[in-house]
Amino acid sequence: MEDFLSLLNESQRQAVTYNDGPSLVIAGAGSGKTRVLTYKIAGLLQQGYAPSSILALTFTNKAAREMKDRIAGIVGENLANKLWMGTFHSVFYRILRIESDNIGFPSDFTIYDSADSKNLIKTIIKGMKLDEKTYNPNKVHARISQLKNNLVTPQSYMSRNDLHEVDMHARMPLMKDIFTTYTNRCLKAGVMDFDDLLLYTNILFRDHPGVLVKYQNYFKFILVDEYQDTNFAQHLIIKKLADRHHKVCVVGDDAQSIYSFRGANIENILRFQEVYPECKLFKLEQNYRSTQNIVRAANSLIDKNKEQIKKNVFSENSEGNIVKVFSAYSDTEESNIVANAILAMHQSKKYEYKDFAILYRTNAQSRILEEAMRKKGVPYKIYGGLSFYQRKEIKDVLAYFKLSINHADEEAFKRVINYPARGIGETTVSKIAECANMHNVSFWDVISNPLGYNLQVNSGTALKIGNFRMMMEEFTAETESKSAYDMATTIIHRTGILKELYQDKTPENMTRQQNIEELLKSIHEFCETKEEEEGEEMPLLNVFLQEVSLLTDQDNNKNENLDMITMMTVHASKGLEFKNVFIVGMEEELFPSNMSTGSEESIEEERRLFYVAITRAEENCYITYAKSRFRNGSSAYCNPSRFLKDIDPDLLELPDDYKMSHGRVLREALDSQFENFRRQEPTGYNLKIKNTTETTSFKANPPKFNFNLGTRMKPMSSTAATPNPNSISNFSGQDNSNIKVGDFVEHEKFGIGKVTQLEGLEGSTKATIEFRNSGVKKILLKYAKLKVIKG
DNA sequence: ACTAATAACATTTTT
DNA sequence: TGTTATTAGT
């Protein structure tokens, strides 16, 4: 304990060592929040708290994993692995499965992601013959999500006139019926959506006091990361669980609350002290990330927000440069300015490409930036867009997994019933749907007993349905005895997915093949780590599914070390840091978004978003805006963002032409601007632009290569390696084809061993290896990370 | 039942 | 503009 306390500053140390009751840790940007959390947990473990008595909740799997790793580094893997540490959703998914009997769900209920939820809502709206424009499925989904986040069930909705009035006002008087039907359909299908995981946890604790007491006693200490992003459902779960021991520590920064549109309630952190009057407040105010001028600029901005917890964030780093603003005539020019600036700074040898990030408000802005980077030869990676697990081919395979585990899963059923095409078309599916809804049973129930439910199909179709059913039943039977990886390969072979994908060589198909390969690889890795870490003999498919259903792309950070600039939305940048940050598109209607200019609260949230963007920068922060921009097909004129006026003019270097359009409005800004000119030192990079012709003045050397240096994190159509169309075996990157019986090999995890047997076909050879310390293992060569050593 | 063509549509998105 | 969803046609 003592040894790591010396690594903390005074306020960090106080926050870490106080464990007598509830505490609120306000952690300013870059103030070492994760450090406090990890040391606190490590300290609790060293004090003798059992790891299983500590509940630590995060918002991303990545955050949980990183924290667990750091704790493992202090107290060892054994203890760290036993912590209840994970996302809200994964932890309570686990608990809900254990307690499923109490809430009327099967123990292996599956998860609908937001796309599944929206699909179901859409079919319900269609089924009710409602107009899809007034009952916009996206809006309905958002509303239902909002209701659930506030713990409104269809039952309690009825007794709430205020809620109904809101929906009447939105011209959706039948919201209640859609909500009810949606809830019933999910129940019937044995599925929960993301919001349900929190809602049903609350229902479980509300209706089963014995269960609540069990977990209250179990969790002696509760920690919550990013508390400013919790919603009401999450707040209440924490409150209930902490009700016995009161040892709850929440960490967060109200100034970085940017997810209210998803139900996060900033009040949770603002009013935490009212909920727990005996609460201790700790403020982490020293920023270790950014220069003083960046911290000051950010402070001056966030100061304009009314609702916030007072804090004095400061930096003792060097003073650094002030924030520089550049204007461009168009979005194209803006992109070129940024690309040229990056090239210039890179060529000065002071920075690598990975020291740069371009942050924007909307994903749509990435395209034009991407183009500029490609033209100038700046290597880049883009985060965002479709996540791996949302890809069609991945969802298709996962749907087979889900349906094998849970026959009732309606969305999974609809997804795979005719994929690959087996002649069960739209009409047949709607007949099944009709039947199922009429008898209030699942789709699977209908095809299990077509005669009993009077399903009207011709004999040919009936046969096809029967075949599908038999195939699925075989899968289900096999999931009991085969490992997740074996099941996965079985399924993609026997369903014909593989054949389908390897039929033609369109570029889209090639990336699909690669994605399926990637999925298989990850399942294999999953099985390996489960075997090693948890000693599970055979990790089953349902175990994999439980984990993968709550996984997102944020967890794939394998490209982290490549020397490329990063492009992402400001939202996606939260928690990250870069030496140089470019915030682009700083215009009215875009940042703040025109969707958020309605209320003061949403403007404050946009301002916090801007605050998050600025505080990502360690050394230099640049802001750009364009005077015209292509938006929704046509070019539109834009004005600089109002937020530029919120930053202390002494800490901002505005472009000359800012006064042309804002001279009258911004006298003070301009006055100080002139002062700045006099006392500002040149930075070494001539980034300033005054007019279009001068843009060329910092045009960097032309790119040496003409081909695309940029890579997207998840290419939709990629020019990457071509997999062998006849086998699914050569994408893993491991070439272990030279391994022979008798060789000595070294495995990343199992250590040194001797190959005693090889079996199976080429491409999927299994090797039996006797490891010196890890025993005998059978390993698939194509995935194994093996090194041959001379024996 | 599948493909091609057209219309409609567009924030942010830790799970 | 660029994507996505529905519709018409084969």
Give tens-digit pLDDT for A565-598.
999 999 999 999 999 999 999 999 999 999 898 8
* Strand C contact with A636 (CB < 7 A): no
- The one catalytic residue in A146, A183, A256, A569 is A256
Considering only residues 132-191 of chain A, list those whose CB is below 7 Å from strand B.
133, 136
Question: Does nucleic acid strand B have an atom less than 7 angstroms from the CB of A59?
Answer: yes
Integer-rounded Cα radius of gyration of chain A: 28
Active site (annotated) includes residue A97: no
**C1'-nearest nucleotide to the CA of A569:** B12
Q: What share of chain A is helix, strand, coil (3-state, %, to 5)?
A: 50, 15, 35
| Site of tokens 């492009």 | A567
Residue A493 CB neighbours (<10 A): 12
pLDDT beyond 50 at A366: yes
Cβ of A133 < 7 Å from strand C? no
Number of H helices, E strands in chain A: 33, 24
Task: Say if strands A280-284 and A23-27 run parallel, antiparallel, or are unpaired.
Answer: parallel
Measure the CA–CA gap between A128 and A137, rounded to whole angstroms: 13
Residue with tokens 């062998």: A724
| Annotated active-site residue in A296, A616, A629, A782 | A616
- Per residue in A103-118, pLDDT tens? 999 999 999 999 999 9
Q: Which two tokens stand for residue A240?
A: 């209930």
pLDDT score of A719 more than 70: no
- Sequence-separated (6 or more) residues with CB below 8 Å from residue A173: A164, A167
Label residue A539 by pLDDT band (50, 70, 90): confident
pLDDT at residue A705 in the model: 24
Q: Which A residues 380-409 have CB within 7 Å of strand B? A: 384, 387
A740: pLDDT confidence band, cut at 50, 70 and 90? confident
Contacts of residue A664, defined as CB under 8 A and 6 or more positions apart, other chains included, come to none
A616 given a catalytic annotation:
yes
Nearest nucleotide to A633 (CA to C1') is: C1
Please pick, among A193, A226, A587, A619, the residue that the annotation labels catalytic.
A226
Q: What is the band of A606 on the pLDDT scale with cuts at 50, 70, 90?
A: very high
Eight-state DSSP code of residue A306: S
pLDDT band at A266 (very low <50, low <70, confident <90, very high): very high
Average pLDDT for chain A: 85
pLDDT band per the 50, 70, 90 thresholds, residue A2: low
Å: A137 CA to C5 C1': 13
Which region among A300-314, A487-501, A536-550, A601-615 has the lowest average model confidence (pLDDT)? Answer: A536-550
List all residues 6 or more positions away from A382 whose beta carbon is below 8 Å from its beta carbon. A366, A370, A567, A568, A712, A713
Nucleotide nearest to A194 (CA to C1'): B15
- Using CA atoms, how far residue A341 sits from A137, A329, A344, A657, A700, in Å, is 43, 16, 5, 19, 8
Taking the C-alpha atoms of residue A466 and residue A460, their distance in angstroms, rounded to an integer, is 10
Q: In what order do the strands lie in the sheet with A786-789?
A: A775-780, A766-771, A751-759, A744-747, A786-789
A428: three-class secondary structure by DSSP? helix
For residue A703, name the pLDDT band (cuts at 50, 70, 90): very low
Cβ of A314 less than 7 A from strand C: no
Cα gap A80→A72, rounded to integer Å: 5
Short-list A398, A410, A407, A541, CA closest to A470: A407
As a whole number, mean pLDDT of residues A547-556 equals: 76
pLDDT of residue A714: 32
Query: Is any atom of nucleic acid chain C found less than 7 Å from the CB of residue A4?
Result: no
Instruction: Check residues A670 and A89 and name the one with the higher pLDDT.
Output: A89
Catalytic annotation on A560? no
A225 belongs to the catalytic site: yes
Which nucleotide has its C1' atom closest to residue A385's CA? B13
Q: What's the rounded Cα separation, in Å, for the pair A89 and A91?
A: 6
Selected catalytic residue, list A34, A180, A332, A554: A34
Per the annotation, the verdict on A33 as an active-site residue is yes
CA atoms of A791 and A93, how far apart (whole Å): 48
Beta-strand runs (E) in A1-64: 23-27, 54-58
Its pTM stands at: 0.84
By the 8 A CB rule, do A265 and A289 touch?
no
Is the pLDDT at A400 greater than 90? The verdict is yes
Q: Where are the beta strands (DSSP E) in A403-518?
A: none
Catalytic-residue membership of A712: no
Q: Please tell me whether any atom of strand C lies within 7 Å of the Cβ of A214.
A: no
- Phi, psi (5° rounding) for residue A439? -95, 0
Q: How far apart are CA A224 and CA A90, in angstroms?
A: 14
Question: CA of A350 vs C1' of B12, distance in Å?
Answer: 33
- pLDDT band at residue A662 using 50, 70 and 90 as cut-offs: low
Per-residue pLDDT reduced to its tens digit, A454-463: 988 888 889 9
CA A139 to C1' C8, whole Å: 29
- The bases of strand C with some atom under 7 A from any protein CB are 1-2, 4, 6
> How high is the pLDDT of residue A178?
94
Cis link prior to A420 (omega < 30° from 0)? yes
